[in-house]
Amino acid sequence: MRKGAPFDLDAVRTHLATEEGARLWRSLEELSDAPEVRRYIEAEFPDIVQAASIDRRTLLRLMSASLALGGLAACNGSEAGKNAPLLSQSRNMPGYTPGVPLTVATSMPLNGYGRGVLVRTQEGRPIKVEGNPLHPASLGATDVFAQAEILSLYDPDRSDTPLQNGAPRSWEELTNFIRPVRNELVVGEGRGLHILMPPTSSPTLHRLMAQARQLFPFAQWHLFSPVDDDNRRIAATAVFGRDLDFVYDLTQADIIVTLGGDLFAEEPGHLRYAADYQTRRRMQDRPLPGLYAVEARLSLVGARADQRIPLRPRDFEDFVQVLAAALGVGSAPSSAPHPSVSKLADELRRAGARSIVVAGREQPARVHALVHAINARLGAFGTTIRAIDPVRPVSADTGTLVDLAEAIESGGVSRLVVLGGNPVYTAPADIDLASLVRRVPLSLHLGQHRDETAVVCQWHIPELHPLESWGDLRAFDGTVGLRQPVAMPLKPGLSQEEFLGLLAGQGPDGRALVQATWHEAWGEGFEERWARSLEGGVIEGSASPLVALTDRFDVAAELEARTNSAGIDVVFAPDPSVWDGSYANNGWLQELPKPLTKLVWGNAALIAPETAAIFGLSSGDAIDLTVEGRAIRAPVWILPGHAPGAVTLTLGYGRQRAGRIGNGIGFDAYAVRPSRQPWIASGEIRKPGERIPLISTQQHHSLQGRDIVRVVAPGQSAVGESPEHSSLYPEWPYEGHAWGMAIDLDACIGCNACVIACQAENNIAVVGPEEVAKGREMHWLRVDRYHAGDPANPGTYFQPVPCMHCEKAPCEVVCPVNATVHSSEGLNDMVYNRCIGTRTCSNNCPYKVRRFNFLDYQGTDYTASPDAMNPQVTVRDRGVMEKCTYCVQRIGAARADARVEDRPLRDGEVTTACQQSCPTQAIVFGDVNDPGSAVSRLKQSPRNYALLGNLNTKPRTTYLARVEPSRENG
Amino acid sequence: MSSEPQAVTSTVAEVPLSRRFGLIWWIALVVSGAFVLLLGYTLVSVTILGVGVWGVNIPFVWGFDLINYAWWIGIANGASLFAAILVLRRHDLRTSVNRFAEGVALFAVICAGIFPIFHLGRPWLFYWTFPYPATFQVWPQFRSTLTWDFWAISTHAIVTSLLWYVGLIPDLATLRDRARSKTAKRLYGVFALGWRGSVRHWAYHQRAYRLVAILVLPLILIMQSTVAFEFAVTLVPDWHETRQPLHFVATGLAQGLSIVLLVAVLLRWGLRLGHYIDEEDVDLLGKLVLASALVSGYLYLDEIASALLAGGLAQDATFKRITGDYAGLYWTAIVYSILIPQLFWLKAARQSTIAGIFVGVSIGTGIWFDRYSIIVGGLQTDYLPSISRTYSPTLPETGLFLGTVGLFAALLLLFVRFLPVVSMFEIRHDEHEENSS
Amino acid sequence: MTHPLYGLMAEFRSPDALMDAVKAAKRAGFTRLDAFSPFPLSDLAEELGVRTTVIPWIAFAAALIGAVIQYGSQYWMNAVDYPLNVGGRPLDSWPAFVPATLIVAILWAGAATLIGLLLILRLPRLHHPVFAVHGFERVSNDRFFLCILSDDPLFEPAATRNFLNALSPENVREVPACG
Residue A135's alpha-carbon distances to A199, A511, A535, B296, C156, in angstroms, are 21, 21, 12, 69, 117
CB contact under 8 A, A812 and C90: no
Model confidence at A102, in pLDDT bands (50, 70, 90)? confident
CB contact under 8 A, A821 and C85: yes
> Chain A residues with CB inside 8 Å of B235's CB?
810, 844-846, 951
Provide the 10 A C-beta neighbour count for residue B309. Answer: 9
The answer to whether the CB of A915 falls within 8 A of the CB of A747 is no
Model confidence at A8, in pLDDT bands (50, 70, 90)? low
What pLDDT score does B279 carry? 81
Provide the 10 A C-beta neighbour count for residue A904. Answer: 14
The secondary structure of B347-384 as a DSSP string is HHHHH-HHHHHHHHHHHHHHHHHHHHIIIIIHHT--SS
B196 vs C96, C97, C128: nearest CB: C128
Model confidence at A320, in pLDDT bands (50, 70, 90)? very high
> What integer is the mean pLDDT of A539-555?
83
- What are the backbone angles phi and psi of residue B54, rounded to the nearest 5°? -90, 180
The answer to whether the CB of A669 falls within 8 A of the CB of A614 is no
The answer to whether the CB of A310 falls within 8 A of the CB of A296 is yes
CB contact under 8 A, C107 and B159: yes
Closest CA of chain B from A632, distance in Å? 30
Closest CA of chain A from C78, distance in Å? 10
Quickly list H helices, A197-247.
Answer: 203-215, 230-240
Q: What DSSP element (H or E) covers A957?
A: strand A957-960
B204 vs C36, C37, C52: nearest CB: C52
Closest CA of chain C from B389, distance in Å? 27
> Chain C residues with CB inside 8 Å of B225's CB?
99
CB contact under 8 A, C87 and A822: yes
The answer to whether the CB of B427 falls within 8 A of the CB of B21 is no
What pLDDT score does A970 carry? 41
The secondary structure of A769-806 as a DSSP string is HHHHHTT----SSEEEEEEES-TTS-EEEEEEE-----
Q: What confidence tens digit (pLDDT) does each residue in A47-61 have?
A: 555 555 556 666 666
Judged by CB atoms within 8 Å, which residues 789-808 of A form the interface with C?
A: 806-808
Beta strand pairing status for A415-419 and A385-388? unpaired
Q: Which residue of chain B comes nearest to C15, CA vs CA?
A: B432
- Digit-by-digit pLDDT tens for chain C (179 residues) are 456 888 888 888 888 888 888 888 888 888 888 899 888 888 888 888 888 889 999 999 999 999 999 999 999 999 999 999 999 999 999 999 999 999 999 999 999 998 999 999 888 888 888 888 888 888 888 888 988 888 888 888 888 888 888 888 888 888 888 75
Q: What confidence tens digit (pLDDT) does each residue in A398-457 have?
A: 999 999 999 999 999 999 999 999 999 999 999 999 999 999 999 999 999 999 999 999
Chains touching C, CB cut-off 8 Å, 3+ pairs: A, B
**Identity of the amino acid at A534:** L
B403 exposure class (CB count in 10 Å sphere: 0-12, 13-18, 19+): buried
C86 vs A730, A806, A821: nearest CB: A821
CB contact under 8 A, C110 and B216: yes
CB contact under 8 A, C100 and B148: yes
Closest CA of chain B from C156, distance in Å? 23
**Identity of the amino acid at A676:** R
- What are the backbone angles phi and psi of residue A623, rounded to the nearest 5°? -125, 150
Whether chain A has a CB inside 8 Å of the CB on B144: the answer is: yes
Nearest to A296 by CA among A316, A315, A312, A307: A312
CB contact under 8 A, A818 and B57: no
What's the CA gap between A670 and A672, in Å, rounded?
Answer: 5
CB contact under 8 A, C90 and A730: yes
Nearest to A476 by CA among A109, A145, A752, A231: A109
CB contact under 8 A, C84 and A822: yes
Residue A423's alpha-carbon distances to A413, A429, A443, A454, in angstroms, are 17, 11, 13, 10
Percentage of residues of chain A with pLDDT beyond 70: 88
CB contact under 8 A, A812 and C87: yes
Residue B415's alpha-carbon distances to A955, B37, B164, B174, B357, in angstroms, are 55, 19, 12, 16, 19
> What integer is the mean pLDDT of A769-781?
94
Q: What confidence tens digit (pLDDT) does each residue in B376-408 have?
A: 999 999 999 888 888 999 999 999 999 999 999
Q: Where are the beta strands (DSSP E) in A249-345?
A: 255-259, 290-295, 307-310
Residue A529's alpha-carbon distances to A201, A206, B364, in angstroms, are 21, 21, 83
Model confidence at B1, in pLDDT bands (50, 70, 90)? very low
Q: Report chain C residues touching chain A, CB-CB < 8 A.
A: 82, 84-90, 96
Q: Give the least confident one: A718-722, B57-61, C135-139.
A: A718-722
* Residue A730 scores a pLDDT above 60: yes
What's the CA gap between A423 and A426, in Å, rounded?
Answer: 5
Q: What does pLDDT average to over chain A?
A: 88
Whether chain A has a CB inside 8 Å of the CB on B135: the answer is: no
Q: Which residue of chain A comes nearest to C85, CA vs CA?
A: A822
Closest CA of chain A from C125, distance in Å? 43
CB contact under 8 A, C88 and A808: yes
Model confidence at A22, in pLDDT bands (50, 70, 90)? very low
User: Can you give the length of chain C in residues?
Assistant: 179
Quickly list H helices, A105-255.
Answer: 144-153, 171-187, 203-215, 230-240
The answer to whether the CB of A644 falls within 8 A of the CB of A305 is no
Model confidence at A77, in pLDDT bands (50, 70, 90)? very low
Judged by CB atoms within 8 Å, which residues 778-817 of A form the interface with B?
A: 782, 784-786, 801, 810, 812-817
User: Can you give the length of chain B in residues?
Assistant: 437
**Paired residues of A828 in beta bridges:** A822
The larger pLDDT score, comparing residue A73 to residue A923, is at A923
Judged by CB atoms within 8 Å, which residues 141-200 of A form the interface with C?
A: none
What's the CA gap between A112 and A473, in Å, rounded?
Answer: 8
Q: Give the least confident one: A106-110, B293-297, B430-434.
A: B430-434
The answer to whether the CB of A828 falls within 8 A of the CB of A812 is yes
Percentage of residues of chain A with pLDDT beyond 90: 73
> What integer is the mean pLDDT of B91-95?
71
CB contact under 8 A, A822 and C90: no
Closest CA of chain C from A957, distance in Å? 15
- The answer, yes or no, to whether the previous bond of B59 is cis (omega within 30 of 0) is yes
Residue A597's alpha-carbon distances to A27, A567, A568, B65, in angstroms, are 61, 25, 21, 33
ipTM of predicted assembly, 2 dp = 0.89
CB contact under 8 A, B432 and C36: no
* Residue A302 scores a pLDDT above 60: yes
What pLDDT score does A228 carry? 92
A308 exposure class (CB count in 10 Å sphere: 0-12, 13-18, 19+): buried
Percentage of residues of chain C with pLDDT beyond 70: 98
What pLDDT score does B4 carry? 44
> Chain B residues with CB inside 8 Å of A702's CB?
385
The answer to whether the CB of A757 falls within 8 A of the CB of A142 is yes
> What integer is the mean pLDDT of A86-103?
62
Nearest to A536 by CA among A204, A202, A134: A134
Q: What confidence tens digit (pLDDT) does each residue in A586-596 have?
A: 999 999 999 99
C37 vs B152, B202, B207: nearest CB: B202
> Chain A residues with CB inside 8 Å of B388's CB?
698-700
> What integer is the mean pLDDT of A480-488?
92
CB contact under 8 A, B59 and A843: yes
Q: What confidence tens digit (pLDDT) does each residue in A135-166 have?
A: 999 999 999 999 999 999 999 999 999 999 99
CB contact under 8 A, A808 and C84: no
* Sheet of strand A739-744: strand arrangement: A923-927, A739-744, A957-960, A944-945
Q: What confidence tens digit (pLDDT) does each residue in A886-898 have?
A: 999 999 999 999 9
Beta strand pairing status for A415-419 and A442-447? parallel
Helix (H, G, I), strand (E, B) or coil at C85: strand
Residue A833's alpha-carbon distances to A767, A820, A881, B79, in angstroms, are 21, 11, 10, 39
CB contact under 8 A, C86 and A813: yes
> What integer is the mean pLDDT of B220-237?
92
Helix (H, G, I), strand (E, B) or coil at A619: coil
Nearest to A138 by CA among A868, A706, A834, A920: A920
B215 vs C48, C109, C117: nearest CB: C109
Nearest to B43 by CA among B293, B300, B369, B404: B404
> Chain B residues with CB inside 8 Å of A836's CB?
120-122, 125-126, 128-129
What pLDDT score does A10 carry? 56
> Chain C residues with CB inside 8 Å of A954's CB?
88
DSSP letter (8 states) at residue A538: B
C88 vs A807, A818, A824: nearest CB: A807
Q: What confidence tens digit (pLDDT) does each residue in A658-702 have?
A: 999 999 999 999 999 999 989 999 999 999 999 999 999 988 888
Q: What confidence tens digit (pLDDT) does each residue in B335-391 have?
A: 999 999 999 999 999 988 899 999 999 999 999 999 999 999 999 999 998 888 889
What's the CA gap between A361 and A138, in Å, rounded?
Answer: 21
Judged by CB atoms within 8 Å, which residues 149-168 of B form the interface with A?
A: 150
> What integer is the mean pLDDT of A293-312?
94
> What integer is the mean pLDDT of B135-160?
92
